[in-house]
Amino acid sequence: MARLYMDEQFPKVVSQLLREMGHDVLTVQEAGKGNLGIPDEDVLSFAIGEDRAVVTLNRDNFVRLHRADAQHCGIIVCTNDPNRWRSLS
């Protein structure tokens, strides 16, 4: 199963459901980094250090980070806007 690091805007219910499915989930809040205004670069760096993929709703910044350096464990970009589907390219 996947090792995931949930960005802080994700609803807790998503983390709970992923855990029920057997995934190893760590949230920003559980890592003691919630509500601190931590830059996305540092969120990704922490995830890399923990060997986790980032799960985020922050598409624009994390796509930019991926394009700048794809040396990470993964970035899963989600949306709650059904009109926002588009390719990363």
* Residue 44 contacts residue 75 (beta carbons within 8 Å): yes
Domain count, the chain: 1
pTM (predicted TM-score)? 0.85
**What six digits make up the tokens of 21?**
């499915």
Q: Give the residue numbers spanning the domain of 29.
A: 3-77
Structural domain contains residue 20: yes
87 pLDDT more than 60 = no
With the C-alpha atoms ordered 13, 18, 24, 27, is the resulting torsion angle positive or negative?
negative
Q: In the prediction, which pLDDT does 82 show?
A: 63
**What six digits make up the tokens of 54?**
């980032």
Structural domain contains residue 85: no
pLDDT digits (tens, 9 = 90+) for 14-24: 999 999 999 99
* Residue 44 contacts residue 23 (beta carbons within 8 Å): no
Q: In the prediction, which pLDDT does 76 show?
A: 92
Q: In the prediction, which pLDDT does 80 show?
A: 73
Q: In the prediction, which pLDDT does 60 show?
A: 85
